[in-house]
Amino acid sequence: MTCAEPLNDTGRLLSGAAPGLAAHRARYGPAPVLGGPGELVALVTAAGLRGRGGSGFPTARKIAAVAAASRRPVVVVNACESEPASAKDATLLRHAPRLVLDGALVAARALGADTVVLCVHRGTPLVGWLRAEVAARTGDGVAWQVAEVPRRYVASEASALTRFLTTGEARPAAKPPRPERRGVRRRPTLVDNAETLAHLALIARYGPGWYRSVGTAGDPGTTLVTVGGAVARPGVYEIALGTPVGAVLARAGGPTAELSATLVGGYAGTWVTDPGTPLTHDPAGRYGATVGAGVLVALPAAACGIAETARILGYLADESAGQCGPCAFGLPAVADDLARLAAGRPDPDLHDRLVRRVGVIAGRGACAHPTGAVRLAGSVRHAFAADVRAHLSGRPCRPHPPVLPLPAPHERDRTWQ
Amino acid sequence: MAVTAPHLAVDPIACQAHGLCAELLPGVVTLDEWGYPILPAGPVPPALRAAARRAVNACPVLALRLATD
């Protein structure tokens, strides 16, 4: 499944598979020690590192916000990987766990944090693996913890994680205050995706100039992507940011069927029909696709993008924390509209109602879950315009096995504790 | 110190769709089909500030506020 790349400009993370801590140290040396929060912020600002969990938020701004708070901070490594189509964080933690831990340690030391919490989904093999890994690390000067988070889509949102680590309830919290100001046990908390911290470990060693030598000016470096669907070699790949969608599909062996579109970003992402669309955290192409959490799923033309999206919206509605009205009521309504459309059973108001609902829900949740879900729903109109027209005229789609993966029922928790 | 003009903000978790904000600020706050408020972007015009403050004070669950962040 996984492609280990030779060491080159686009194999920074996945080329570094070292068999043990001693070999890792021999290759990279000890984790660098920075002078303090100011040096860390300056370094990460110069590198232009952006978060790999999906939003692409500038990491330096988050770090600066944590550093500006007065209490002793906590560092949280987010390796939950709630995106059902993503495998990049698990792959990274198997290939190069010490890069992730070194990145967290660099940040923790510079910020004066005494605790680093590694968050993974409950019951995954990573739990035991990471426990053994942190037990082998002595003399780091921080307390390493491994926390098992409920396997739910929004339970790994930053404020849900800090709420879980404080109260045991893994549902997103209202902002302000953001976790950077008041997170775990009311302490300022840096929540970063595991991959983000692995990049930070390399930036601390090799410098911002090295980091910027690939990627784009606004979004430098490499990133991990999980490529699935109708491609010859599905798996996790490391690409330069800015690489076009078509080139990434080619890395994965190329399409195995005629494609109608590619889902880009994740289940909060966008359907993309132009293979020339560059993958960065800045919206690109006609419909503003971003690389998000690095998911690409190639959809064969024989499948129906609307039926696929309806199925995913049903999942996303089911995964709502049920706290905010526009999400709790809006997502099931949008999922129902899409299912009626896919079935070719529209009522006269369906099209306008769907457009209205998609337009009114974005930005109105405590977290970005409803915004992401309607982004995916809304992108159907552009990517599958001909299918939308056919379904509106009463034609159902041809049956096709599901393409977009969803977790099996036994891989999903129903609890938030 | 510069004072930023306040805008309306809602805590979407606290909001229970009582809808008083839309009644007290007609044409400013509208409700979606499920009864939850849709707030205007940008600062509240000076002429509406007093009404906005009344709406904030009337919210039964204290979800509505005038924010300057």
Please report the number of interchain residue pairs, chain A to chain B, with beta-carbon separation below 8 angstroms. 38
Best mutation site among A360, A369, A416 for testing chain B: the one with the most B CBs within 10 Å?
A: A360
Of B13, B36, B38, the CB nearest to A174: B13
Q: Is residue B34 part of a domain?
A: yes
Residue closest to A93 by CA, chosen among A21, A161, A13, A28? A13
Least confident of A43-47, A129-133, A284-288, B20-24: A284-288
In chain B, the number of structural domains is 1
* Residue A243: alpha-carbon gap to chain centroid: 18
Strands A143-149 and A115-121 turn out to be parallel
Give the tens place of pLDDT for each residue, A349-388: 999 999 999 999 999 999 999 999 999 999 999 999 999 9
Task: For residue A397, give Cα distances in angstroms to A214, A271, A303, A351.
Answer: 43, 18, 8, 17
Confidence of residue A26 (pLDDT cuts 50, 70, 90): confident
CA distance A29 to A105: 14
Cis omega before residue A275 (within 30°)?
no
Q: Which tokens in the block code for residue A148?
A: 């098992």
In which band, very low, low, confident or very high, does the pLDDT at A12 lie, cut at 50, 70 and 90?
confident
Contacts of A325 in chain B (CB under 8 A): 12, 15, 17, 32, 34-36
Select from B12, B34, B69 the Cβ nearest to the Cβ of A176.
Answer: B69
A176 vs B: CB within 8 A: yes
Q: Does A370 touch chain B (CB under 8 A)?
A: no
Query: Which chain A residue has the Cα nearest residue B68?
Result: A176
**pLDDT confidence of residue A201:** 97
Contact call for residues B36 and B56 (beta carbons, < 8 A): no
On whether residue B45 sits in a domain, the answer given is: yes
**Residue A324 forms contact with B (CB below 8 Å):** yes
pLDDT tier for residue A3 given thresholds of 50, 70 and 90? very low
The parent domain of residue B13 ranges over 7-67
CA distance A383 to A87: 25
Domain membership of residue B1 (yes or no) is no
Q: How far is A378 from chain B (nearest CA, A)?
A: 18
**Residue A208 pLDDT more than 80?**
yes
Contact yes or no for B12 and A330 at CB 8 A: no
Interchain pair A323, B38: CB under 8 A: no
Instruction: Note the pLDDT of residue A9.
Output: 46
Instruction: Give mean pLDDT in consecutive 10-residue pieces for chain B, a chain of 69 residues.
Output: 79 98 96 98 93 97 93
CB contact (8 A) between residue B35 and residue A325: yes
- Record: contact A173-B11, CB cut-off 8 A: no
Please tell me if residue A366 touches chain B, with a CB cutoff of 8 Å: yes
Does B34 contact A326 at a Cβ distance shorter than 8 Å? yes
The Cα A375–Cα A229 span in angstroms is 20
CATH of the domain at B59: 3.30.70.20
CB contact under 8 Å between A364 and B36, yes or no, is: yes
Q: Given a cut of 90, is residue A22 above it in pLDDT?
A: no
Tens digits of residue pLDDT in A304-336? 999 999 999 999 999 999 999 999 999 999 999
Q: For residues A240-258, give the mean pLDDT.
A: 98
Nearest CB among A174, A326, A327 relative to B11 is that of A174
- pLDDT for A285 equals 87
Query: Which of chain A's residues have a Cβ under 8 Å away from the Cβ of B11?
Result: 174, 366
Contact (CB<8Å) B13/A329? no
Task: Give the separation between CA A416 and CA A44, rounded to whole angstroms.
Answer: 34
- Give yes or no for a contact between A5 and A91, defined as CB atoms under 8 angstroms apart: no
Predicted pLDDT of residue A287: 85
Helix (H), strand (E) at residue B54:
helix B49-58
**Chain B residue closest in CA terms to A370:** B12
Please tell me which residue of chain B has the smallest CA distance to A353.
B33
Torsion sign, CA atoms A158, B41, B64, A327: negative
**Is pLDDT of A72 > 60?**
yes
Give pLDDT, residue A19. Answer: 64
* Three-class secondary structure of residue B67 per DSSP: strand
**Per-residue tokens: A64:** 């600066």
Q: Is B38 in a helix, a strand, or coil?
A: strand
Query: Considering the domain boundaries, does residue B22 fall inside one?
Result: yes
Q: Give B36's contacts in chain A (Cβ within 8 Å).
A: 325-326, 329, 364
Q: What is the helix (H) or strand (E) element at residue B37, kind and residue range?
A: strand B37-38
Give pLDDT, residue A7.
38
Report cis status (omega within 30 of 0) of the bond before A409. Answer: no
Domains along chain A with CATH numbers? 21-211 (3.40.50.11540), 305-400 (1.20.1440.230)
Q: Which residues of A touch B14 (CB under 8 A)?
A: 174
d(CA A395, CA A276) in angstroms, rounded, equals 31
- Over residues A125-140, the mean pLDDT reads 92
pLDDT tier for residue A18 given thresholds of 50, 70 and 90:
low
Instruction: Write out the two tokens for A85.
Output: 């189509």
| Of the partner residues A329, A330, A366, the one whose CB lies closest to the CB of residue B13 | A366
- Average confidence (pLDDT) over A84-89: 98
**Is the model's pLDDT at A10 over the cut of 80?**
no
